[in-house]
Structure 1
Amino acid sequence: MTARTFEKRRVGRTDLQVTTLGLGGASLAGIFSAVPAEQARATVSHALDVGINYVDTAPQYGLGRSEHLMGDVLRERREDVVLSSKVGRLLKPVSAAEQDKGNWVDPLPFNQLYDYSYDAVMRSFEDSQQRLGLEKIDILYVHDIGVATHGVEGNKPLWAQLAGGGYKALRELRDAGVVKAIGLGVNEWEVLMDAFQLGDWDVFLLAGRYTLLEQTSLDPFMTTCVQRGSSVVVGGPFNSGILVGGDKFNYAKAPDDVVAKVRAIEAVCREFGVPLPAAALQFPLTHPAVCNVLPGPRSPQELDGILGWWDAKVPGELWTTLAAKGLLAPGTPIPGGTA
């Protein structure tokens, strides 16, 4: 298979260069529905075959399953691939009766324990190396810290762990060259403003908050990233599926106001002959902070569908029409200007 040529963008101020399209590893681990192991590995291989050079995984995904599956492929094809994983959860072996599977179908036999302390960050990193079977992880994200996951009171002691030692561990790993970039991987932008108070970060993986449907992170977060030289990887570009014909938004059934906005955006896309998912995939890249868009296909066929949307031509008038109809937040960068 002939690899295509993707644009590459720099990660923060590091030497890392990532293709603007990446591969997320959550769906491959079987969230909501099962994904056979061979199919998951074939999807990773296909992504590399077509020229994608950035893949993301995490201990949480399938409770270790995603890291194992990605490692199976990357051990044979590690060169020139940028790999990210995450810290903040340690995996504890449990019996089937004790296990909390959450939304994972057929996860590995572990429960997760949140811990953002210095020792836990170091252990989590080493555990990920073991599960992947790889020595090198390029980007390390702090995973799911914030009130959306833990609540206001629940997050306070966890944030104290990060501020009191976890950030120091990440800095040590980066300063020693063990990892090349550090950041946070979350579903809420507000906690990332708090992170800027702790120090400097290279890249943030933000899911769902800077998409064709929602630009709540535009200011002050995205503008601060430009000022501080931090990049953004846009996870969840389809907002849990609502932008590809599904009914979920933020991992739950979409409320009526969200459905109505999606229909309005879709009507504009139809006017210009552009598939809604194509517009959703391509939208984030106009922002100068964004280095990568990270969908999560479950199969090589789904990835091929994404590539079709990626290649679709989107006329500039589509974006200006969305802006004129008030379907993009004021100040949103679009080709040729802002909304």
Structure 2
Amino acid sequence: METRPLGGTGAEVTEIGLGTWELGGDWGDVAEAEAREAINAALDAGVNFLDTADVYGSGRSERLIRDVLAERDEDPFVATKAGRMLDPHTADGYDEAHLREFVDDSRERLGVESLDLVQLHCPPTDVYYQPSTFEALETLREEGRIDDYGVSVERVEQGLKAIEYPGVETVQIIFNPFRQRPRELFLREAANRNVGVIVRVPLASGLLTGALSPETEFPDNDHRNFNREGDAFDVGETFAGVPFERGLEAVDAIEPVVPEGQSMAQFALRWILDHDAVTTVIPGSSSPAHIRDNVAAADLPRLSAERHAAVRSVYDEYIREHVHQRW
């Protein structure tokens, strides 16, 4: 699998990584053995970028990564996130004391002296107008607690504001055929500033796998059940903010555009990777077969201009009104 430079970190990371939210929680029950198997499958497939967060299963995801890596020779790049442990989750909590506490806890759970990358975890918008937060991250870097820092954002505007801070090396953002706004300005600005772009929710919580239907039922503890209206966190994290039924209609409209021999998931991942400003894409899965299928998308040829145009048409007809100006 090809690699791409991750901003100014000096790291070269695989085009497909592994997101581990699903292995921590909010996606139904995933047994520990199953979660370990998923991480091992990703590493076996050549993935060298793992994304996690302290809040995923209250540290479960970080501990699982530590335990799996302790049994292997690979040294993948591990990005984690901090901030969502705050209660209440307010901008003034993103101070040096809290960030040091969160970083030290993640260091312990991951079993490392210094975190490869810590990302502010979708903080309130006011944080991006709070230079003291980024000064605190710089202090933690100087102290050797973290190697680099970045942000995970909900909105394009937050990402554009974040990259005004020179120490921000990466931005994690939702970008897929159902969330196309980042391609208008953000991707260009990130490339101009040599900022790494980590794409999450690439398959719109499973919509863009083509495996869901109106009859699909989700467990009570799966966010695709309990967060459809944004009751627990930003609704844009669930089905990329697209109403479920409308998303299914859009998938049906995209299906004829998918090249023969490709899965819908591979098509969506290839669509994302065709944007050169993207560094890595982090689909999550607990299925080794799905992980291998996702990784294979990196080796597929670029999509034609005609297929990209067809995806834009589907977006304009089915999706744009629901998401474009919101995020």
* TM interval, short-chain normalised: 0.7 to 0.9
Aligned equivalent of 1:119: 97
Residues 1:259 and 2:224 are matched in the alignment: no
1:129 is aligned, of 107, 112, 132, to 107
For structure 1, the residue ranges without an aligned partner over 5 or more in a row are 1-5, 92-110, 147-154, 331-339
CA RMSD of aligned residues (A): 2.7
Which residue of 238, 261, 275 corresponds with 2:203?
238
Counterpart-to-counterpart distance in 2, 1:325 and 1:18: 27
> 1:94 aligns to what?
none
Residues 17-166 of structure 1 mapped to structure 2, 5 A cutoff: 17-77=12-72, 79-90=74-85, 115-146=93-124, 155-156=125-126, 158-159=127-128, 163-166=130-133
Which amino acid is the alignment partner of residue 29 of structure 2? A
Aligned residues: 290
Amino acid at match of 1:225: A
Amino acid at match of 1:193: L
Residue 182, structure 1, aligned to residue 149, structure 2: yes
C-alpha separation between the residues in 2 aligned to 1:144 and 1:76?
32
Q: How far apart, in 2, do the equivalents of 1:51 and 1:112 lie? A: 39
Please name the residue that 1:203 is paired with. Answer: 170
* Aligned position for 2:325: none
Higher RCO structure, 1 or 2 (CA under 8 Å, sep 6+): 2
Alpha-carbon distance in structure 2 between the residues aligned to 1:116 and 1:88: 7
Q: Aligned pair in 2 of structure 1 residues 183, 300: CA closer, same or farther (>3 Å)?
A: same
Given that 1:87 and 1:116 are in contact with CA atoms closer than 8 Å, whether structure 2 keeps it comes out as no
Q: Percent identity?
A: 30
Give the distance between the partners of 1:308 and 1:23, measured in 2 at CA.
13
Task: Give unmatched runs, 5+ long, in structure 2.
Answer: 214-223, 225-235, 317-327
Per the alignment, do residues 256 and 49 of structure 1 end up closer, same or farther by CA in structure 2, a change over 3 Å counting?
closer
- Asked if structure 2 preserves the Cα contact closer than 8 Å seen for 1:261 and 1:327, the reply is no
Distance in 2 (alpha carbons) for counterparts of 1:215 and 1:89: 26
Q: How high is the TM-score relative to the length of structure 2?
A: 0.79
Within 2, Cα distance between the matches of 1:90 and 1:325?
37
Task: Give, in whole Å, the separation in 2 of the partners of 1:176 and 1:329.
Answer: 46
For 1:269, the equivalent position in structure 2 comes to: 258
Counterpart in the other structure of 1:306: 294
Q: How far apart, CA to CA, are the structure 1 residues paired with 2:278 and 2:204?
A: 17
